Structure 1
Amino acid sequence: MADKIFDRLIEDHDKHRQLLKQIAETHGDSEDRRALLETLTKELKAHAAAEEMALYSTTLRKPPTNDETRHSVAEHHEIEEMLNDLAATDMSSSAWLAKFDKLAHRYTHHIDEEEEEHFPDFGNYLTEADKAHMRKIFDEHKAEECEEAEVTPVAMADAKE
């Protein structure tokens, strides 16, 4: 497998960047916006779950990478809450657009941080065999997670209760 885990994760990140851009070009409560949000939500939830199983389960067992790993996993949870809140908001409202912009900024920051800081650091502690195995695990779990991922509208205020 020529491209290992980090190349595969970045491939997904690029797809996510494109989905965010496409959603930003939609308006109001439209079929396009609904379909793109559903695709983005399923993609992000499946990606995060598979990434945690394939990569972060290993980096948590390597003390020098614990802080970065925990940070990324916490961000996954935060982003999922933001997705749920966005799905619970009226798509034709200005609040929806403000929440989408915040989510897009937060997620872009997250993946930039992973690509520029975390992945290079993690690479120092993983063998090529580790990376190839992680790629295999990621691909298997991503497909499964995509089938199971759902849009779950839960407003932030309700999630905190």
Structure 2
Amino acid sequence: MATDIFDRLKQDHDKHRQLIDAIKETTGASDDRKALFEEFKTDAMAHAAAEEGTLYVAMMEDPEIRQDAQHSVKEHADIGMLFVELDEMEMGSSGWLNKFNSLAEEYTHHIDEEEEEKFPKAREELREDLAVELKTAFEDRKPIEVARVREGADVDEIKHAIEEEEGAK
């Protein structure tokens, strides 16, 4: 059982690694691939939003680890865009699989970096009781974020950001 925010986030990361591996074992636009991808997308996006609203808020208040939080938030945005792109592609195409493999690589890099670099540094900087409080806050917030993702709220925000970015070019 997770004792603090860092252990709790690692639990999600481990689940996401398993989902990525399971998706890679599927083929075409199979029902299994669709269900596994939807579960991964929903959980990973909700995880990111809840993480930003709990741990990263606390990290932003500490000058020693603020930059780490900003870096991770940027990576969350990049990963979110990959999820949106995948949603708009034909799941059975080789292009979808190539894009998914890019997402898997980027996501795995992100969570490895968090676990190996960002979390240990944050654990040193943040009070132990705060890390425990943040776990509870994360667990309270994540179901709310899951509902938002299922409603498409995050995807709509990402699509709007992409449109604004393309309009600025």
Shorter chain as denominator, the TM-score bin is over 0.9
Structure (1/2) with the larger helix percentage: 2
- Structure 1 position 67 matched with structure 2 position 98: no
Give yes or no for contact 2:2–2:8 (8 Å, CA) kept in 1: no
CA distance in structure 2 between the partners assigned to 1:131 and 1:67 by the alignment:
19
Match of 1:5 in 2: 5
Offset, 1:158: 5.8
Which residue does 1:108 correspond to in 2?
Answer: 108
Cα deviation, residue 92, structure 1 = 1.1
Per-residue CA deviation, residues 104-123 of structure 1 (Å, 9 max, x unaligned), is 00000000000000000001
Question: Using the alignment, how far apart are the partners of 1:128 and 1:65 within structure 2?
Answer: 16
1:124 aligned counterpart, secondary structure: helix
Q: 1:100 deviation in Å?
A: 0.4
Aligned positions of 1:37-48 closer than 5 A: 37-48=37-48
Decide whether aligned partners of structure 1 residues 159 and 26 sit closer, same or farther in structure 2, where only a CA change above 3 A counts: farther
Identity %: 44
Match of 1:87? 87
Which amino acid in 1 is paired with 2:124? N
Match of 1:53 in 2: 53
Going from structure 1 to structure 2, the CA distance change for 1:25 and 1:2 (only over 3 Å counts) comes to: closer
Residues 91/46 of structure 1: CA separation in 2 closer, same or farther (3 Å cut): same
Give the Cα–Cα distance (whole angstroms) in 2 for the partners of residues 159 and 135 of structure 1: 35
Residues matched between the structures, number: 160
- Matches of 1:159 and 1:134 in 2, distance apart? 33
1:147 is aligned to 2:140: no
1:129 pairs with 2:129: yes
Asked which structure has the greater RCO (Cα within 8 Å, sep 6+), the reply is 1
What is the alpha-carbon root mean square deviation over aligned residues?
1.9
2:99 counterpart of 1:99: yes
- Separation of aligned partners in 1, 2:34 and 2:164: 22
SS of 1:52's equivalent in the other structure is helix
1:126 alignment partner AA? L
Cα distance in 1 for residues equivalent to 2:59 and 2:100 = 31
Deviation at 1:60, TM superposition (A): 0.3
Q: Which amino acid aligns with 2:143?
A: A
Whole-angstrom CA distance in 1 between matches of 2:73 and 2:13: 16
Give the 4+ runs in structure 1 shifted more than 3 A.
150-154, 157-160
